[in-house]
Amino acid sequence: MKKIIYSGLLIIFTLPNIFSQMEIVRKRMDTTRDTTGSLQSSTKNESVQVLGSTDISPVVSFKEFPINHNEHITSDGKYYYTINGGSYAWGQINKFRLNGTLIKTYPIQIDGRGLSYNQADGFLYASLFEGDIVKITDLESGSFTTKFTHIMQNDQASFAISPDGSKFFDFYAGILKIHDFNTGAVIKTITGLSYGAGNFGGMLL
């Protein structure tokens, strides 16, 4: 799986024969706990891979392997952060330099689906399996507090926070709900948008 960032737009390419591809990556990178129980990073710290194109070229690209479920990415303008969901026990957030080099993997006991940086208060927020949204109060210690419970449309959905921190966006099956970030109230609903099939689907641009 290749994640490429184009000036704020995240595009995920699913390669042909994805299961065989994932098995190859799995053999190269241990993405589970080792025999001592310490968490292994889901990403390999290696040089950035630049992809050529006749039409467009990526700002940066890097490799990361999903532990169990989806991955999501955000930035505070100084670093990139990814969340690797699918298990409370194996939850982690990875911090990268803007050139795609891994800085550190932070274990955190959340079953993450989405990750977003809030410029208004300087904190990372995550949407979790079953629809909760949490504020990550201290990344180093893996501390977090719950902001909303069961607020997302779908248990598997990821979310995004508006640039000014006043709203968050919840997309599922062609319906985009825009919430007030302080109260959680739905302030606007947009319907009829294109989307992919299943939990692995998303909005088609």
Structure confidence at residue 167 (pLDDT): 97
Would you say residue 201 lies in a domain?
A: no
Structure confidence at residue 155 (pLDDT): 87
Structure confidence at residue 122 (pLDDT): 96
160-188 pLDDT tens trace:
999 999 999 999 889 999 999 999 999 99
Pick from 96, 15, 22: nearest CA to 66: 22
Q: Model pTM greater than 0.75? A: no
Structure confidence at residue 144 (pLDDT): 96
Integer Cα distance of 170 and 186 in angstroms: 10
Structure confidence at residue 161 (pLDDT): 96
Integer Cα distance of 49 and 97 in angstroms: 14
Task: Evaluate if residue 11 carries a pLDDT over 60.
Answer: no
Q: What is the DSSP letter of 68?
A: S
CATH of the domain at 64: 2.110.10
Contact between 142 and 155 under an 8 Å Cβ cutoff? The reply is no
Give 54's pLDDT tier (boundaries 50, 70, 90): low
User: Domain span at residue 84?
Assistant: 2-190
Would you say residue 89 lies in a domain?
A: yes
Task: Evaluate if residue 76 carries a pLDDT over 90.
Answer: yes
Mean pLDDT, range 113-125, rounded to an integer? 95
Structure confidence at residue 12 (pLDDT): 40
Would you say residue 203 lies in a domain?
A: no
Would you say residue 197 lies in a domain?
A: no
Would you say residue 180 lies in a domain?
A: yes
Would you say residue 163 lies in a domain?
A: yes
H or E element, residue 26: helix 18-28
Would you say residue 91 lies in a domain?
A: yes
Would you say residue 196 lies in a domain?
A: no
What does pLDDT average to over the chain?
75
Integer Cα distance of 93 and 134 in angstroms: 14
Domain count, the chain: 1
Q: Which residue has the higher pLDDT, 65 or 164?
A: 164
